[in-house]
Amino acid sequence: MRSPDTQPTLRDIVLIGGGHSHVGVLRRFGMQPQPGLRLTLICTDVHTPYSGMLPGYIAGHYSYDDVHIDLSRLCVATGARLIAAKAIGLDRSQRLVRLEGRPPIRYDWVSINVGSTPNTSAVAGAAQHAVPVKPIAQFNQHWQALLARAQDPATTALTVVVVGAGAGGVELALALQHRLAGMWRSAGRMATLTLHVVGASATVLPTHAPRVQRHFADLLRQRGVQVHLNAPVTQVLADGLVAGGQTLRADTVLWVTQASGPAWLQGTGLALDAQGCVLVTEHLQSITDDRIFAAGDVASLQDRPLEKAGVFAVRMGRPLADNLRAAALGQPLQAWRPQRRWLALIGTGEARAVASRGAFSFGLGLSTGRWMWAYKDWIDQRFMQRFSPAPGAMKMVANSADSASAAADLKLNTDESAQAISAIAMRCGGCGAKVGATVLSRALGSLDVWPQPDVLIGLDAPDDAAVMRVPPGMAMVHTVDFFRSFYDDPFVFGQIAANHALGDIYAMGGRPHSATAIVTVPPGLESVTENLLRQLMSGAVKVLNEAGCPLVGGHTGEGRELALGFAINGLVDEGLSTVLRKGALQPGDALVLTKPIGTGTLFAAHPQGHARGRWIAGALASMVQSNREGAAVLRRFGARSATDLTGFGLLGHLVEMTRPSGVDAQLDLAALPLLDGALECVASGILSSLQPANVRLRRALRNQADFVAHPRYPLLFDPQTAGGLLASVPADQAAACVQALREAGYPHAAVIGQVLPPADELAPITLVG
């Protein structure tokens, strides 16, 4: 029996998209949590750009991190769950957000803030050949490619066409001209930039005052930008476009016009405007479904259409958060009244800006333009600071509220209220801690388990155990792994846990044969538990299926935290001729590592808010990568011994190999492949809780005193989750082996040392580098 102190999830608000409105929602709920109410953010990128600073980024005034909000850190700080996935639809009848390549996420209320994208479907060739400015994350990839091309000394000329003569297009064109022309000038190069702005309107900046229009028209002319007005684009070509009856040749066509909502909204049954954006009431609530909200560019006010401007998305954040909370609590919603006019601050590329509001304008002169840029920069930086909390500054998640009170606040029905109170009460042990059969059968019923012919009695049978056939001439390899969750996305955690468990089989040279699972889930509402199990096991089964390893059974019980493990059975040749053992190192062999290290320090830093989102995304990508192909490559190049890197860290697992082999080894610290951010985290003193135990093995280092101050030294002891394979390969095969590993999808594979004959010293490992 136990007395839990955590508040179970009673209701779910799902936020689709990491736009300006949703970061405001996260911050507001973070500052004032609602007991029992969980926020989940679904987005494809863990860094969301602030559109107001994009031209400054293009112009070179800001770095990538200056203009991006780290959603991973923000979710950690505010207690929200982050799901890095692509939304592709809604099942409104079942209240599910459909995701690409994984099970749907359930919601009680959902909000959409995915922004808008330039509509390229109405113009022939635009979808194939134009580069939309939104989503900005995708545009940035094209921008980096264009920048690299411009930096190439072989490039002597570039022609770029910007489609869109509004503020966005003009500002982008000026920023691009400033960056590229300035870059070439600084390098002393004579390259030629030809820049066009094409618009269907009669003037540039058609929604602004004539004085502002004239100023920017003059500015474009002074910068050598060719402007084509009253020139709607009729076709985009592989090498240019046709606009106003004229063909313009171009290396790149940037599309900054005709904004529309994402295509998946068309299949939701929601009322949309002519541009495919969600029609909402003054409460930012869909006019079709009162459980669905929308904000930012993807929202269209039914009674007052708004210009697609970032200022509205920012200001929708607070009323959206308040109305989502009110909806969950069954309280009246508050109307949002957008302002009639707003101050637009339009950059000119060279650290100057013009203020425009109705007939008012300021900053048209040289000195006043600099003042306005300083003012704009101050506003933008202040906005970004609101969503860049210092690590540990926002410990906002309330978890001690009375469950009965939370259930009443969130208007749970009688059955749900009983489940909520039960979840927070004293829970039984033994078989009384099992998850109910109905929930379990519903959660597992949708799993698509690989149909292995050796499964005689498996998961789909009601029997007490699975029965498997062992093929003739084969022997069984058995292993087990189990650990608690360290990441909020259960689908990804399921993938990692399965990969981690399979690693032992691959390291032994075996072929996975079958798996049984053991799962611990925190108590809660049946609907929440069911969706959690479905997400978790779907991720695991995806990995197991890819390995040809069917899930044949398991056990699920309640516990304080989510945890998952597997007992994996594998097959090897009965004569053990294919088995790779730790004790088979031979002097002269090269030591090869297939994947980078650093997961321990990164996931120690993550819950503290010290790890950047892209560092965590990179670590997750490494952990979900299977060792299957890596093991096959190692065997092909004559690997004699192997192990998978897990909790004991690189040094601990290498010592496990040298001792039974009766050899010594040399490690090159400079050659160690590292995950992005690992060095920064250890340099900040952020280490795994297992690190002190692993550090005791420093006695195995012959010259550790010479390297204890080396920045990479702590990573020798860093515990790995779902790490790569460490193997010995004949020295004359090592370079070809590493090349083959990289071609097989392990870009960080490297030779990190060599096996040495045993010396007289007790310590077997020598460091270099």
Are the CB atoms for 16 and 110 separated by under 8 Å?
Answer: yes
The yes-or-no answer on residue 681 being catalytic is no
C-alpha dihedral sign at 217, 362, 317, 388: positive
Given 75, 431, 681, 737, the catalytic residue: 431
Q: Distance (Å, rounded) from C-alpha 409 to C-alpha 417?
A: 11
Q: Distance (Å, rounded) from C-alpha 749 to C-alpha 40?
A: 35
**HEC assignment per residue over 104-151:** EEECCEEEECCCCEECCCCCECHHHHCEECCCHHHHHHHHHHHHHHHH
Q: Distance (Å, rounded) from C-alpha 191 to C-alpha 213?
A: 30
Q: Which two tokens stand for residue 738?
A: 């590493």
**Run of H or E including 603:** helix 599-605
Are the CB atoms for 560 and 711 separated by under 8 Å?
Answer: no
Q: Would you give the end-to-end CA distance of the chain in angstroms?
A: 53
Q: Which two tokens stand for residue 275?
A: 């541009």
Q: Which two tokens stand for residue 600?
A: 């321990």
Q: Distance (Å, rounded) from C-alpha 514 to C-alpha 511?
A: 10
Buried/exposed 743-757: b ≥16 CB within 10 Å, e otherwise: ebebebbbbbbbbbe
SS3 759: coil
**CA diameter of the chain:** 87
**HEC assignment per residue over 281-327:** CCCCEECCCCCEEECHHHEEECCCCCCCCHHHHHHHHHHHHHHHHHH
Helices 437-445, 526-546: axis angle to 10 degrees equals 40
**HEC assignment per residue over 533-600:** HHHHHHHHHHHHHHCCCCEEEEEEEECCCCEEEEEEEEEEECCCCCCCCHHHCCCCCEEEECCCECHH
Q: Tell me the backbone φ, ψ of residue 361, rounded to 5 degrees.
A: -150, 155
Q: Distance (Å, rounded) from C-alpha 58 to C-alpha 54?
A: 6
**Run of H or E including 659:** helix 649-661
Q: Distance (Å, rounded) from C-alpha 647 to C-alpha 416?
A: 40
Q: Distance (Å, rounded) from C-alpha 208 to C-alpha 192?
A: 31
Q: Which two tokens stand for residue 96?
A: 């599910």
How many CB atoms neighbour CB 340 within 10 A? 7
Residues 6+ apart with CB under 8 A from 188: none
Q: Which two tokens stand for residue 747?
A: 């870009």
- Catalytic residue list: 431
